[in-house]
Amino acid sequence: MKNSYQPKIAVIKKIKIQTPEVKLFTLQFKNKEDQKNFEFIPGQFIEVGLPSFSEAPFAVCSNPNDSDKNFQICVRIAGQLTKKIHQLKINDQLTVRGPFGNGFPNNLTGNILLIGGGLGLVPLRPLILANQNNRNFKMQIFYGACEAKDLLFQNEYKIWQKSANLALTLDKQCPNWKGNVGLITTLFDKIKVDSSAIAILCGPPVMYKFVIQKLKQAGLDDANIFLSLERRMHCGIGVCQHCSVGSKYACKHGPIFSYQELKNIPGAL
Amino acid sequence: MDKKQLQKFIQWLQEKNYIVIGPTKEDGQILIKTISESSQLDFSGQLPLYSFKKYLVPSREILFKYKKDDFKADLTAFKQALIGVSIFDLKAILLYNQVFEKDPYYQARLNNTLIIGQSQIPQFQNLSFKVWEDKYEEDILEHLQFDIFLGQAKEKKSSEFKIFTGSKKGQQILNDFAKQSGWKSDFEHVEYAGPIKEEGANPEMMKIKEKMPGSLETDIWQNLDQRCIECGKCTIVCPTCFCFSLTDQPCLNKDEGMRKRCWDSCFYSEFSEITGGHKFLKNTAERIYNWYYHKFVRIPDEYNFPGCVGCGRCSMVCPAGIKIHEVLESIKTK
């Protein structure tokens, strides 16, 4: 019987500082077979841990087409575990379980609007990277961060813009910033969103209500709005009850849900 | 099988290296404990305060012992015989069997466990703990999972148990016992027919399930918010509360420790808390609603049977005097 709690060991191959609080870790499974067999769907997550510091869920944020070579996670210092992970160096090891959850729908075509708030850009990145040469995929990205220093993956925007339209906004005016200032909802006043678009949202819980309002105003169908739900996930397999959303589990049936599935569940959004 | 033979059978199990666990009377209370002598067992059929939960879903269990990055799963399980398991607790086992169907730790434990049920429905001293109408019925055994069952003989005055088996393991054990002890093997096998009765899902459950979502608009939960002190006692005694957290416990030796699975309680405020401090179950009202939702909507949605076995233990231990049957009544009649 498969033991879903059995972690595999991954080795840190690269560390890239993204912002003062966020590091991008490139990981590779210690066991070559584990790496070769590793596959994930954009939007899925893994449980990453350190012995004696337990585990926490992180979105896999690399290109899914590279998953047989390595994979990446973005870690913001937020608690004991992440503080410790930030102290790790190249060739140090982490434990990994997963991937878990459903991931984004895999047959996306047409106008795709990705909306990321803060760290919410992280789970969207594999979708961006995997669809750079996808001609059936017209990508518009809305990304908002607090300040200019908080913008993630800044060195990749030029490449992304070859295949996507990227609109940035900052909550606060920052020196030398010539782009939009204001919450992510203000981007809807500048860029028209097609009513036939498929929207994919990922951000802090507070963002969803307001962005959904804007999407509904633009005429999007409830079934075409997808959200990634953040919840406390311990087991990853829909047993421990921490991440329940109505009668579903964010770790098993999610973390990606359509607005249609969620709108009548109290407390889901 | 009469009482004497039953005691002999229990001794025989002990000789076969089974740890025997069952109800025993201590200071006027019925407790479930490991017994050394078969005479310690109490077959009066009174409801023990705690269920058999911890013997199948332990309050703390070691999933791994780790040394640096080497995680070794600890799947050892000892042979145990749970004896005198009431219908209530058998229903809870039915739920564990579904929830932990793919859990190697649970399955290892279950494989080493002999489940011996007992028919007497507890005579409640206080009828106010009764949760819902769910009386002992003739056909209930075929909807429960057990190895051996001690049924009451048809003739009320008889002190003999009518023996049923519910598994191959149960049949095998009884045949072995008969061979070795001279007991005149006499039992009836009951084929498991799944957890749900032919006539379909429990109508009482369906009614509550239907009314639950709408009850959010009523003052039921606000009233409970004022009363419940979130001590979590109900979640500890509840045979069907199985939620857990995973934590690491470092040892004193450097780089060594244990990854553990421990009971949690959805009444604790950090249960739904994520990094940054946001809680998805924000207050007592939301947490108590979630507890009822799990038992009367989420479990029925997942498995089509109720997440409440009707034992009333939560009402017995609640320091705030919250009675589950009253809450359910107010949900139904709102």
**Are the Cβ atoms of B248 and A205 closer than 8 angstroms?**
no
- Cis peptide leading into A57, omega within 30 of 0? no
Inside any domain, residue B194:
no
Which residues in chain A belong to E strands, given as ranges? Answer: 8-19, 22-29, 45-50, 54-59, 71-76, 93-100, 110-117, 137-145, 164-170, 180-181, 198-202, 225-228, 244-245, 248-249, 256-258
Inside any domain, residue B258:
no
Q: What is the pLDDT of residues B75-85, one digit of tens each?
A: 999 999 999 99
- Range A78-83 contact pairs with CB under 8 angstroms and sequence separation of 24 or more: A78/B275, A78/B276, A79/B275, A80/A53, A81/A49, A81/A50, A81/A53, A81/A54, A81/A55, A81/A56, A82/A56, A82/B275
Q: Report chain B's C-alpha Rg in angstroms.
A: 21
**Are the Cβ atoms of A9 and B250 closer than 8 angstroms?**
no
Domain enclosing residue B298, as ranges:
203-243+266-333
**Taking Cα atoms as reference points, which of A197, A262, A228, A259 lies closest to residue A60?**
A228
Query: Count of A–B CB contacts within 8 Å?
Result: 102
Residues B47 and B119 both lie in one domain: yes
Residues B70 and B21 both lie in one domain: yes
Measure CB to CB from residue B244 to each of A2, A52, A240 and give the nearest one: A240
Is the pLDDT reported for residue B149 higher than 90?
yes
Give the pLDDT band (50/70/90) at residue A244.
very high
Q: What is the pLDDT of residues A70-106, one digit of tens each?
A: 999 999 999 999 999 999 999 999 999 999 999 999 8
Q: What is the pLDDT of residues A212-223, one digit of tens each?
A: 999 999 999 999
Residues B282 and B158 both lie in one domain: no
Q: Where are the alpha helices (DSSP H) in chain B?
A: 3-15, 53-56, 87-99, 104-111, 168-181, 203-215, 220-227, 233-237, 284-293, 299-303, 313-317, 324-333
Question: Chain B within 8 Å of A157 (Cβ-Cβ)?
Answer: no
Inside any domain, residue B249:
no
- Which chain A residues touch B255 with a CB distance below 8 Å? 51
Question: Domain boundary at B189, B219, B254, which?
Answer: B189
**pLDDT reported for residue B138:** 66
Alpha-carbon span B36 to A55, nearest angstrom = 41
**pLDDT reported for residue B74:** 86
Number of domains in chain B: 2
**Taking Cα atoms as reference points, which of A78, A77, A71 lies closest to residue A94?**
A71
Inside any domain, residue B198:
no
Closest CA–CA distance from residue A209 to any residue of chain B (Å)? 15
Question: Chain B within 8 Å of A1 (Cβ-Cβ)?
Answer: yes
As a whole number, the mean pLDDT across chain B is 91
**pLDDT reported for residue B124:** 47
Give the pLDDT band (50/70/90) at residue A240.
very high
Mean pLDDT (whole number) for B257-265: 96
Report CA-CA distances (Å) from B225 to A233, B3, B285, B332: 26, 48, 5, 19
Residues B302 and B226 both lie in one domain: yes
**pLDDT reported for residue A74:** 98
Give the pLDDT band (50/70/90) at residue B229.
very high
Mean pLDDT (whole number) for B208-213: 92
Question: Chain B within 8 Å of A54 (Cβ-Cβ)?
Answer: yes
Q: Which of residues 59-118 of A touch B (CB under 8 A)?
A: 78-79, 82, 93, 95
Measured N-to-C along each axis, helices B220-227 and B284-293 cross at an angle, to the nearest 10 degrees, of 110
Residues B20 and B69 both lie in one domain: yes
Mean pLDDT (whole number) for B131-139: 62
**Are the Cβ atoms of B272 and A235 closer than 8 angstroms?**
no
Mean pLDDT (whole number) for B19-34: 93
Residues B171 and B220 both lie in one domain: no
Which residue in chain A has the smallest CA separation from B68?
Answer: A51
Mean pLDDT (whole number) for B237-256: 95
Is the pLDDT reported for residue B135 higher than 70?
no
**Are the Cβ atoms of B294 and A242 closer than 8 angstroms?**
no
Inside any domain, residue B236:
yes
Closest CA–CA distance from residue B275 to any residue of chain A (Å)? 7
List of domains in chain A? 8-98 (2.40.30.10), 110-262 (3.40.50.80)
Residues B213 and B300 both lie in one domain: yes
Percent of chain A with pLDDT over 70: 100
Is the pLDDT reported for residue B136 higher than 60?
no
Question: The complex's ipTM?
Answer: 0.93
Residues B68 and B141 both lie in one domain: yes
Residues B166 and B210 both lie in one domain: no
Inside any domain, residue B32:
yes
Measure CB to CB from residue A267 to each of B71, B255, B280 and give the nearest one: B280
Task: Enumerate residues 6+ apart whose C-beta is below 8 A from B197.
Answer: B139, B143
Inside any domain, residue B255:
no
Measure CB to CB from residue B248 to each of A54, A204, A235 and give the nearest one: A54
**Least confident span in A39-53, B33-47, B110-124:** B110-124
Residues B149 and B226 both lie in one domain: no
Inside any domain, residue B254:
no
Residues B302 and B154 both lie in one domain: no
**pLDDT reported for residue B216:** 86
Give the pLDDT band (50/70/90) at residue B330.
very high
**pLDDT reported for residue B153:** 62
As a whole number, the mean pLDDT across chain A is 96
Is the pLDDT reported for residue B130 higher than 70?
no
Give the pLDDT band (50/70/90) at residue B125.
very low
- Which chain B residues touch A267 with a CB distance below 8 Å? 280-281, 286
Residues B135 and B233 both lie in one domain: no
